[in-house]
Amino acid sequence: MLRIFVLLLLLANGLYFAWTQGLMRELGWGPVLPNEAQRLAQQLKPEALSILSTEETRRVEAAATAPKAAPAECLEAGLFDDKQGAALRRTLEDHWPAGSWSLQATDLPARWIVYMGKFASMDAASKKKAELKSRNVSFEPLRNQALEPGIGLGGHDSADAANLALKELTLRGVRTARVVQEKPALHGETLRLPAVDEKQRSMLEELKGELAGKALRACVK
């Protein structure tokens, strides 16, 4: 038994020696040598390293921790009539760089709606909405506050289209609706700021006085 153990130990030592010397590499066994090409490719290049001074280190750390500037965004506002557009153009020409803004001629079509109202109160309008829901008739908020309290049953670009929708609703049991013009066609100018950066954002506050109460919003793509 002892003799077998000694023979196995000698065999194990022989195999380990052959493995460390790479004698078994053809069989796919062997240690990774430090002079292999793949090992050399992973080495650092000392000539590419540089030692930073204290001041340079501070600058690098400050740049890494500084908050990133918000990306430029496209903003627009409108519609402006001729008088409002002229005042806005003067301000932009005096204070904003050329190419950073534009005033674009814009036509907004009239909007016609199928309408129910005016009701005697908001409660009466709410009761009618509950009745419409029970009949699976959809409605939407009114864009013209002068028509409140009322209910809009859908907007259309022409009176003919609105009248056709009214006929379909009548067949569904809607009896007291009618077609009204919610807003007339409008012509004016729309302000577009295509790429508002950090510097220009600080200038927006001064521009608000010329926006005639119209809010800046993200551009419609």
Q: How confident is the model at residue 5 (pLDDT cuts 50, 70, 90)?
A: low
54 band by pLDDT with thresholds 50, 70 and 90 = confident
- 3-class SS letters over 73-89: EEEEEEEECHHHHHHHH
Residue 220: per-residue pLDDT: 81
| 62, part of any domain | no
Is residue 82 in some structural domain? yes
| CATH code for the domain of 115 | 3.30.70
pLDDT at 36: 53
Look at residue 66 and tell me if it is in a domain. Answer: no
Task: Tell me the whole-structure pTM to 2 decimals.
Answer: 0.52
Q: CATH number of the domain at 95, please.
A: 3.30.70.120
For residues 170 and 42, the answer to whether their CB atoms sit within 8 Å is no
What mean pLDDT is reported for the chain?
A: 84
pLDDT tens by residue, 92-131: 999 999 999 999 999 989 999 999 999 999 999 999 999 9
Q: What angle (nearest 5°) sits at the alpha carbon of residue 203, between those of residues 202 and 206?
A: 120
- Are 115 and 169 contained in the same domain? yes
Q: Quick check: is 68 in a domain? A: no
Q: Mark whether 135 and 173 lie in a shared domain.
A: yes
Q: Answer yes or no: is 64 within a domain.
A: no
Split into its structural domains, the chain has a count of 3
> Is there a domain that residue 49 lies in?
no
Please check whether residues 137 and 175 belong to one and the same domain.
Answer: yes
pLDDT in tens, 142-165: 999 999 999 999 999 999 999 999
pLDDT, one tens digit per residue, over 20-51 is 666 666 665 656 555 555 555 666 666 666 77
Same-domain status, 95 and 134: no
Whether 179 and 117 share a structural domain: yes
Residue among 216, 213, 212, 209 at smallest CA distance from 193: 216
Range of the domain at 101: 73-108+186-218
Q: Is residue 158 part of a domain?
A: yes
Torsion, CA 139, CA 141, CA 145, CA 148, rounded to 10: 40
DSSP string, the chain: -HHHHHHHHHHHHHHHHHHHTTTTGGGT--PPPTTSHHHHHTS--GGG--PPPHHHHHHHHHHHHSPPPPPPEEEEEEEE-HHHHHHHHHHHHHHS-TTS-EEEEEEE--EEEEEEE--SSHHHHHHHHHHHHHTT---B--S-GGG-SEEEEEEESSHHHHHHHHHHHHHTT--S-EEEEEE--EEEEEEEEEEE-HHHHTTHHHHGGGTTTPPPEEPP-
Q: Which two tokens stand for residue 109?
A: 């079509």
